[in-house]
Structure 1
Amino acid sequence: MSQYANSPIICNLIASINDCIDPEKSITDFYKLAFNIKTAQGFGLDIWGRIVGVNRNISIPPDDVEAFGFKTSPQSFQPFNSQPFSSAGARFSAYRLSDERFRTLIMIKAAANILNTTAPNINKYLRLVFPDKRVYFLITGHMKGRYFFEFIPNKFERHIIYNLGLLPRPSGVLIDYRESPPTGIFGFSGTGFQPFNQGSFA
């Protein structure tokens, strides 16, 4: 009421209650940690994974999983009291992807879900999946296509390509895969391929 509008005690009580129940910070946190895929973390990414249809746990060790072992050059194993033994030989195993790896997997699966599978669109998609590597989709015949990788995919990339099958497959098209790094293939100058006596025919 108007006679209490300037009461310091009542005004302080109202301000304190507003600070306690103000949803602005909670809404901001929810948007940052769950709703916005670019900044989501932990449980937020798990929700996005369920929406697009991928799991954070995979059956192969990703490249950033570290294990205890002997000193190597370059260093690939860790000393005592820092990492566990490798379980790469276990029959049943699951590896939890880091937030950044899982975010990448979610974006790839989301794009695959809505992609119009024409050759130009597939090649745009491949630039999203492998931004710094040469890979392309070729039409090799009637209802035939090929994914050509000019590199050897790492474990995480192999999981995307072969285990999850996230590379688009146009309906009714027979797909095959070719992994051929230019460093080992004979070819013409300017292509990145090798000269005589340095590489084999593809």
Structure 2
Amino acid sequence: MIDIRETILAQYANSPALTGILERFNAAVDPQRSIETFLHDVWNPATAKGWGLDVWGRIVGVGRVLRIDTTGYWGFAQGYPTSRTFGEGIWYSGRGATANYRLTDENYRQLILAKAAANISAGSIADINRILMILFGNRGNCYLADTSDHTMMLVFSFRPTAIDVSIIASGVLPRPSGVQYRYTFIPPAKNDFGNDIL
């Protein structure tokens, strides 16, 4: 503390034993550094790390460990981004081999911020698109399209990984009642030199 006298009630301020104990404790322990560390590593979600992010995850209701489908099933990439083609995948039997994946601090921070935004959003397409920008804004275009058949299409202009699909399946996006999410991958157009057209 900077001035310990300001924290002592007037009725105890004249007690030499009590003020002596507090002054010696104040000299031995300076809480200012601990408070700054707490504010940086736990309180502020933009700078929190490790255990601090785990606390924020419990507050907003999202876990750090995600279940990821590790088996590539036969299908088409438009239906499910991690689908395999002929000779590469297996038929889906209703049960999949899954693995637990622990998100890094940066990925988990994005997931926490997206879930926090989802907790206070109205569930509109504009809100969901903002959340998608929080999650995938640095990877490419990703947006939500209303298909008018009780489904909403998540359109990716980049190849989403199994982790990306698991993040979306974790419930981070608000979903209106009776509406199901579908995924599609639209590869970016190429110019004559083979480069992506923005």
TM-score, normalising length from structure 2?
Answer: 0.62
- Consecutive unaligned residues of structure 2, counting only runs of 5 or more, are 1-20, 70-96, 191-195
Equivalent residue number for residue 155 of structure 2: 148
Alignment RMSD (CA, Å): 3.1
Describe the superposition over 1:87-142 as per-residue Cα deviations: whole angstroms up to 9, x where unpaired: xxxx5643322222221221122112222111222222222221131111112226
1:166–1:28 Cα change, 3 Å: same
Task: Name the % identity.
Answer: 40
Q: 1:112 aligns with which of 104, 113, 118?
A: 118
Local SS of the residue matching 1:60: strand
The whole-number CA distance in structure 2 between the counterparts of 1:28 and 1:157 is: 34
- Tell me: higher relative CO, structure 1 or 2? Use CA pairs within 8 A at least 6 residues apart: 2
- Consecutive unaligned residues of structure 1, counting only runs of 5 or more, are 1-12, 62-90, 185-190, 194-202
Matches within 5 A, 1:64-83: none
Local SS of the residue matching 1:182: coil
The whole-number CA distance in structure 2 between the counterparts of 1:138 and 1:159 is: 20
How far did 1:150 drift?
Answer: 1.7
The whole-number CA distance in structure 2 between the counterparts of 1:174 and 1:59 is: 20
Equivalent residue number for residue 124 of structure 1: 130
How far did 1:15 drift?
Answer: 6.6
The whole-number CA distance in structure 2 between the counterparts of 1:24 and 1:99 is: 26
1:43 is the counterpart of 2:51? yes
Equivalent residue number for residue 177 of structure 2: 171
**Residue type matched to 1:39 in 2?**
T
Structure 1 stretches (4+) deviating beyond 6 angstroms?
Answer: none
Q: 2:65 aligns with which of 57, 65, 86?
A: 57
Local SS of the residue matching 1:94: strand
The whole-number CA distance in structure 2 between the counterparts of 1:152 and 1:146 is: 15
How far did 1:169 drift?
Answer: 1.5
Aligned residues: 147
The whole-number CA distance in structure 1 between the counterparts of 2:99 and 2:49 is: 24
How far did 1:160 drift?
Answer: 0.9
How far did 1:31 drift?
Answer: 0.7
TM-score, normalising length from structure 1?
Answer: 0.61
